[in-house]
Chains A and B, each alone.
Chain A
Amino acid sequence: MNDHQFVDEDEVLFRPIYQTSKSFYILAAALSAVLLFGVVMYLRQFIFGLGETGMNEPVTWGFYIISFVFFIGISHAGTLISAILRLSKAEWRRPITRMAEVITGIVLIIGGIHPIIDLGRPDRIMHIFERGRLQSPLLWDMTSITAYFTASTIYLYLPLIPDIALLRDRGGKFHKLYEILSWGYQGTAKQKHVLERAINILMVMVIPIAISVHTVISWIFSMTLQPGWHSTIFGPYFVVGAIFSGIAALIIVMIIFRKVFHFEDYLKKIHFNYLGTLLLVMSLLWFYFTFAEYLTTFYGHEPSEMRVFLYKFTGGYAPFFWLMVFCNFIVPVVFLSNKKLKTIPGILIASITVVIGMWLERLIIVVPSLANPRLPFITGIYVPSLTEISLLAAATAAFILGFMGFSKIFPLISIWEIKEGREESVRMVSARLNEYLPSKGHIRKEIV
């Protein structure tokens, strides 16, 4: 079993699994060190108490909840691209779906761990399962994230099966693993049919689950009575924000791996153009929701709400707020609506600022409402401690490490779909186009 025997036309997609450069190991070591540091800081927090963070009264939620919402938000990348594009039969999705689904998988684990990190008594986590109250938004949250995680893992795995089969057929390392995971997939017509059916079912199921996940997360905030949180717009707002940050994260991941693994042939400029347009649309949509939210708050001028509002606009949190608006609205709109700036580096810059901006948006949502309680207390202040910052860094490192690990075992671009696209897409799309367009003449009915 010699992997050099096979030289596939998509060899470049297989290469990352078999060849590892030195910089990979160095980066993996560095990220592992960051991750290990985060784990050690967490153990310190576990032993000494949550006082190791910067949270206090009244700001009882801080970085952990912010990162939780942020990471779960990024997971929406998977749904949007994979499911919605597959559903709408968009052909340009083919090289993107795998990376999107992987983002979802990794980020859901990281995001799902964050509430546990945030607990004062993580040793009592079983209480949720033994005695959980379904009336609590946190329980809905747990349910929907678990459902989403299950669905998206299966949704990642199912389109992975043909690729695993390809890898198994090549032989080489991980042969045993591929054999188990491929379930004996041979690529027969019947198997293909069953697989397509399964993927279609899931693809439809995943979308409502995904929307429910972030809606439910937003309901953690909007089901409370706090000023600035108790707003009906939170559900759609968070979903839009999640999709927004998800696309941005996806773009960043794509651009990085395109460079590192030389996928230029597969991830072409046009993919980024389309994704960039989507990003622009989401940015405008995000701005619309934000504007609506704050306009209604300001117009109503209720005292406790205004206290939070002024804190965000002109008070202690003004720098973060305006930076967020800059990152989420101004930079994407400028870079993505201008043809000259809409290059791959430009899109990368826009995406990075969006990711930062969306993290800031979660900060703006969580902290100011808590810092300005209804009763006349003085405004609380929240200064994140080393533990929280290191855990944020560790989460990011875990994300990148997860991706790197995945790229060593499975292909990052869906090889079978590329092949399928090459062989059959043209025919399928022409057939579809003929269905849309009016027929040539009234007499002759030509079947192409």
Chain B
Amino acid sequence: MEINRRDFMKLIGGSLAGLAIGGAAGAVMKLPKSAEPILYSGPRIESWKLTACTACPGGCSLKVRLIDNLPIQAFGNPLSPINEGGICSMGLASVARLYHPDRLTGPMKNVNGKFVSISYDEAYKILKDELGKVIDNKKQDDVFIAVQTESKLRADMFKKFSEETGFSNLIIENFQASGAYPYNQVSGEAPDFIDFDKCDYLLNFGSQITEVSENPLYYTRKIIEHRSKGFKHTAVQPKLTPSISKSDDWVPLLPVFYADFALGIAYVLLKDEQYDKAFVEKYFTGFNDFKQYVLDNYFPDKVQELTGVPSDKILQIGRDFEKAAAPAAYFDETIFYNSNGTENALAVIALNALKGFGGFGKLKEEFFSKILENEKKKEEEITFANLKERLSGHKAIKALLISGSNFVYNSPDQAELKKQLSEIPLIVSFSSFVDETSSFAHLIIPDHDDFEKFDLLIDKSMGLPSATVLQPVVDHYYNTIDTSDVLISLMKDLKSGAKIPYDNYNDYIKQFANKIYSTHEGILMDQSKPTVIEKGLRKIGWQTESYSSFDDFWDGLLDAGGWWNPFADKTSYNPKIDFKTNFGKQNASMKKSLASLPNKKLRLNIFRKNLDYKGSMSLYPVLVEQFGLKWTVFYQLWAEINPDTASKYSLQDRSKVVLKTSRGKFPVFLVYNPSVIPGSIDVPFGLGHTNFGDNCGVNPLAYSDDLFDKSTGMPSFSETLVEIDSASSGSSAYTAQIITDEKKLSGTQNRSVYA
């Protein structure tokens, strides 16, 4: 067949066109490359493993779904008494952390500003040699160890390390320990839990109790359960957070005024003489001075003047508090996010003392204190305050070990802090990522991911001892090593003759579990909750199950995901309180300037969302996307302002505004929110990382004044004043109006969800 040129060109053209169309059609049908793992053809065998979540202090038990032995999803463990199958967004998203591209694959050394991979032996040698030198020179006081962990056992390991090596400057940031700290200060012991069986009134000072707290999912369930039985929950917070949806009343109050408010309530109790006189006589030293002081200085009108809360509200809450049989005025670590946090906490403790700490409870047997080696000792080293003092005083620090803490991000004085950190000769970080703090490290020995390590998370907040198992769902991918194992090796190498009866952290956990086993108490978490009959039987001595040996128990423990003792006896919390404090003298000028705002200034109130705890949300793209979903704001920092305040400064809804503090300017996207305290501007915390996860947004804490609670060193979140630098009218994209109806609160029959 003859093909002449024209036909040939037609053929070529036709086939090219065909290819183009096919290519285009292929382009249409193409799925993104990221979908390929789903399409892969392994045998796709599904398996489940139980572990625990470490995203927040709650320590919920997780049920991880693995396909071909790779974890892909996490759900709540339905049989765990802590969360009963529930899980929060942070836990759901945390599986992605295993596969994060920024995860360090092995020990890194900082060589001229860049991180270079080195072997573990090399890294360990450097660490051992440097620390050895310090010990030889007897300069152990110049070494700081900063740890943030929610695991008591891990904290215990660090305490042992500090004790053995003599590096006594140990800072352990632990949520539950922070909450217990002021109690320990005044009485030497802290309550273990809120006793929901007895408590009928919860006055919550600043805790986002159902979002991020000691045990958020448990508290949510309990509050819901007990509300129908006459339990009341009043929240005193600077912001209308989702926790307040589970409360009956909200008192908008800035944290700086918590002490004044608490003492105002105390005034009502004292004046009405409705306080627990028996308790006070027996346990409250210095009560009479306290009573006189409060009666002289905290009558409701004066408190109204100081804090802005109307005096009839104070009276009403005070009367509720005194009428309650077992009220609890509750606070947790969040109370320290203010420069007079300790004072606030002490005032709340005093208020509790007036009603005999009725709503709190303690375990009858100090179960875990029996078996934790260092539970009681060294509670006071939980503060960053002394680290900051050392750094700001430019007193030489020889070495700084950091584990689990990104304190550079969580601090206001970032520029100064960064400068001071760069002067420390040896910084060793155990972080899995190069975040704001570990970027200053000379040596990084990355820890296992939380899905790759062993631990036991012990908890008392449910009113009974429980230990949730954290176990590896996969073998560790990279050349990482459990930090506790490094510590154990260091202890053995640095201190000759150290009595360390375990080789690695696994052994330590096993020994601890053995101690639990040998008490022959409690049950594993793979059974449903025991009934009253079972509890009764247990009391008289009947056992419901037994194990032939410890190994049997251990296997059962790993299968079940945890252990708990629902038969533990509770008792009331009766501490001896010794109060010698001067309330009201602290922070007088700050209170004044926050109450009556100077010209054109607004209060910057930084708040935390439940998607973020300690600023690690940026690692998870799913959470970053949802961060501002409530206001339909994506990937930028927004600020919420009361419409009345906004109209005073002629700021428009959904407009771009630049805020100015003493540290600089930063842009925000302004939205109207009628629940914001007038005169405040609320900005969320969690965005604005510089080299960790998603880099969108701004870190508002970096623009705050360097104020912190003097005894714990926690930064203040709501005491900076800002002014509006410039405002634009209307935003560029997604202009909108939210229609608010101010009259809907008292029921009408209008059923359409249109508020």
Q: Do A and B come into direct contact in the complex, CB within 8 Å?
A: yes
Given known contacts A303-B752, A383-B733, A378 and B738 CB-to-CB distance under 8 angstroms? yes
Bound CA–CA A121/B24 (angstroms): 12
Chain A nearest CB from B260 CB (Å) reads 38
Chain B 377-396, CB within 8 Å of chain A: the 1/0 string? 00000000000000000000
Contacting pair B24 A381 (CB below 8 A): no
Q: Determine which of B733, B736, B755 lies in contact with A379 in the assembled complex, contact meaning CB atoms within 8 Å.
A: B736
Residue in chain A with minimal CB distance to B735? A381
* 8 interchain pairs, CB-CB under 8 A: A43-B24, A47-B27, A47-B28, A378-B632, A378-B736, A379-B735, A381-B735, A383-B733
Bound CA–CA A293/B573 (angstroms): 72
Chain A residues near B754 (CB-CB < 8 A): 303, 376
Given known contacts A381-B735, A381-B736, A123 and B752 CB-to-CB distance under 8 angstroms? no
B25 touches A (CB below 8 Å): yes
Chain B residues near A121 (CB-CB < 8 A): 28
Residue in chain B with minimal CB distance to A315? B737
Chain B 713-744, CB within 8 Å of chain A: the 1/0 string? 00000000000000000000111111100000
Chain B nearest CB from A269 CB (Å) reads 49
State which residues 346-382 of A face B: CB under 8 Å. Answer: 375-381
Chain B nearest CB from A328 CB (Å) reads 26
Residue in chain A with minimal CB distance to B30? A47
Given known contacts A303-B752, A381-B733, A376 and B24 CB-to-CB distance under 8 angstroms? no
Chain A residues near B24 (CB-CB < 8 A): 43, 46-47
Interface size on A, residues (CB 8 A): 18
Chain A residues near B1 (CB-CB < 8 A): none
State which residues 1-51 of B face A: CB under 8 Å. Answer: 24-25, 27-29
A132 touches B (CB below 8 Å): no
- Which A residues have a C-beta under 8 Å from some C-beta of B? 43, 46-48, 121, 123, 303, 307, 315-316, 375-381, 383
Chain B nearest CB from A227 CB (Å) reads 12
Given known contacts A47-B27, A303-B754, A378 and B737 CB-to-CB distance under 8 angstroms? yes
Give chain B's interface residue range (CB within 8 Å of chain A).
10 to 19
Chain A nearest CB from B704 CB (Å) reads 30
Chain A residues near B753 (CB-CB < 8 A): 375-376
Bound CA–CA A316/B24 (angstroms): 38
Chain A residues near B735 (CB-CB < 8 A): 316, 379, 381
Extra contacts besides A315-B737, A380-B734, A383-B733 (4): CB < 8 Å: A46-B27, A47-B28, A123-B29, A380-B736
Bound CA–CA A441/B734 (angstroms): 79
Residue in chain B with minimal CB distance to A376? B754
Given known contacts A303-B752, A381-B733, A383-B733, A376 and B738 CB-to-CB distance under 8 angstroms? yes
Given known contacts A376-B753, A376-B754, A376-B755, A123 and B738 CB-to-CB distance under 8 angstroms? no
Residue in chain A with minimal CB distance to B738? A378
Chain B residues near A47 (CB-CB < 8 A): 24, 27-28
Contacting pair B739 A376 (CB below 8 A): yes
Q: Determine which of B27, B29, B734, B755 lies in contact with A378 in the assembled complex, contact meaning CB atoms within 8 Å.
A: B734
Chain B residues near A378 (CB-CB < 8 A): 632, 734, 736-738
Chain A residues near B28 (CB-CB < 8 A): 46-47, 121, 123
Q: Which 6 A-B pairs have the closest CB atoms?
A: A378-B736, A47-B27, A379-B736, A378-B632, A381-B734, A123-B28
Chain A residues near B737 (CB-CB < 8 A): 315, 378-379
Bound CA–CA A47/B736 (angstroms): 32
Bound CA–CA A351/B638 (angstroms): 48
Bound CA–CA A46/B22 (angstroms): 12
Bound CA–CA A47/B737 (angstroms): 35
Bound CA–CA A365/B193 (angstroms): 60
Chain A nearest CB from B580 CB (Å) reads 54
Chain A residues near B25 (CB-CB < 8 A): 123
Chain B residues near A43 (CB-CB < 8 A): 24
Bound CA–CA A383/B734 (angstroms): 10
